[in-house]
Structure 1
Amino acid sequence: MTETLTTIEDRIAALPDRSLLLLDDDQALRTRLGRALESRGFQVTTAGSVAEASDVLRTLSPAYAVLDMRLDDGNGLKIVEAVREKRDDARVVMLTGYGAIATAVAAVKAGAVDYLSKPADADDVVKALLAVGDETPEPPENPMSADRVRWEHIQRVYELCDHNVSETARRLGMHRRTLQRILAKRAPR
């Protein structure tokens, strides 16, 4: 049975330190998620880049952090390490649009307590942040579909291959024309 929002808000209100760093280069997502976390009781400080987050960490030692994995100026894993250096008991959740096992393992090794795919619901983020010890949060209410995960993976490889269709098709083991048709379609839900 899921917790009610009031219970979650009560748990957050009872926390000795509710400071939270939110790092994401997508301004719309950062604003929306920041407001949602503030409405639940966290004291949110936002950053839009690795450099900005590093500046924030010079003066703030957040108890919680929600960090994007891939940013325009670097990788969120660098900030996970910086948060853990400032405060080893900080709870960090990584967000990414590219749900891959290798990046999830890297995030957990760097000190993240959980790894969520975008677009992440604020309630799922809060559940991950408040999970106690080795307790795992409930699965997301609306996880990405298998088609969406496949599409995200193809987009990631395409981006890593500098938008070279032939190289991406070779690495994915698919025909170039098939890949072109997939890239021309909108992202599945």
Structure 2
Amino acid sequence: MVLSEAEALARLEELRRQRDALERQIADLLLYLDLGRRLGGPSVPVPAAADAAPQMDAPAPPPAPTPVAAPVAATVAAPPAQPPARPERPPAPAFPDPAEDPAEEAGLSETVLARRYGRAVIEAALAALEEAGRPLHASEILARIAEQGFSLPGQDPVAALNTRLWKRSGPGGPLKRLGEAVYAPADAEEG
């Protein structure tokens, strides 16, 4: 079978999209496992094959994640003084420092690490919005997540955060944009 140049380029682009999707799924699962470990859930060994290059011939469906919240709730000694008004969102995981666990981070590409950090920034922003209970401007969100140790590159970190939030505020995203750099969780009631 001989492919034309256009067919070869189209196939190459399709394979790149598949690879990106797999990298996102791997990063999500690694982040999920890391969050589970931080919250004290059951320890699950990460197989070395998770860092290996995925095969493109037969993509397997991603494994269904196991809920971590139930074991965490069972280990809490004293119930909270007041039941929360909203469902609690787990704290945003801090971006792991490669110096802390070089064995785990060594097999990950810079792209995967950057995506992991980007997801953690969005989770921290969502947590800040939930905590505030009202829409926030990107500068307010940045101030709140900076207290947790997050930082954004560039000369204007507010603009960098606004861009990330704007990209995640589309249909089906976790955020909604209410005005110029003003965001609220997508599931928040409009009023």
Which of the pair has the greater relative contact order for Cα pairs under 8 Å at 6+ separation?
Answer: 2
TM-score tier by shorter-chain length is under 0.3
Which structure shows the higher strand fraction? 1
TM-score, normalised via structure 2 length: 0.27
The structure that has the greater radius of gyration is: 2
